[in-house]
Copies of this chain bind each other. A is one copy, B any other.
Amino acid sequence: MSSRRVLPGKSPTSRPGPEGGRRDANRRARTDDLARAALSLFLERGIEAVSIDEIASAAGVAKGSFYTYFHDKADLVQALLEPVASSLRGAFSRCAERLEAANARNDRDALAMSYLALAVDIRDLFEAEPLVARLYLQECRGPANGARAPVASVAELIRGAALRLTEVARAGGLLRDLDTRVTAAAMVGASEHLCMRVLSGEDFGDLSNAMTVLVTLVMEGLGPRASTREVGA
**Inter-chain contacts of A205 with B (CB < 8 A):** 179, 181-182
Q: Mark A161-179, 1 if CB is under 8 A from B, else 0.
A: 0000000000000000011
A145 in the interface, Cβ–Cβ < 8 Å?
Answer: yes
Q: Is the CB of A233 within 8 A of B212?
A: yes
A132 in the interface, Cβ–Cβ < 8 Å?
Answer: no
**Inter-chain contacts of A192 with B (CB < 8 A):** 189, 193
CB A28 to nearest CB in B, in angstroms, measures: 29
**Inter-chain contacts of A215 with B (CB < 8 A):** 231, 233
CB A169 to nearest CB in B, in angstroms, measures: 13
Q: Is the CB of A145 within 8 A of B49?
A: yes
**Inter-chain contacts of A61 with B (CB < 8 A):** none
CB A128 to nearest CB in B, in angstroms, measures: 18
Contact pick for A139, options B112, B142, B209, CB 8 Å: B142
Q: Is the CB of B185 within 8 A of A143?
A: no
Residues of A131-153 whose CB lies within 8 A of B: 137-143, 145-146, 148
Interface of A is mostly: helix
Contact pick for A204, options B43, B143, B181, B210, CB 8 Å: B181
CB A46 to nearest CB in B, in angstroms, measures: 5
A: number of interface residues (CB 8 Å):
59
Contact pick for A43, options B49, B143, B216, B233, CB 8 Å: B143
Kindly report which residue of chain B lies nearest to residue A212, judged by CB atoms. B233
A183 in the interface, Cβ–Cβ < 8 Å?
Answer: yes
**Inter-chain contacts of A181 with B (CB < 8 A):** 197, 204-205
**Inter-chain contacts of A137 with B (CB < 8 A):** 141
A87 in the interface, Cβ–Cβ < 8 Å?
Answer: no
A110 in the interface, Cβ–Cβ < 8 Å?
Answer: no
| A116, A142, A219: residue with the most chain B Cβ atoms closer than 10 Å | A142
A90 in the interface, Cβ–Cβ < 8 Å?
Answer: no
| A140, A141, A148, A189: residue with the most chain B Cβ atoms closer than 10 Å | A189
The residues of A with any CB-CB pair to B shorter than 8 Å are 43-46, 48-49, 112, 116, 137-143, 145-146, 148, 178-179, 181-183, 185-194, 196-197, 204-205, 208-222, 225-227, 229-231, 233
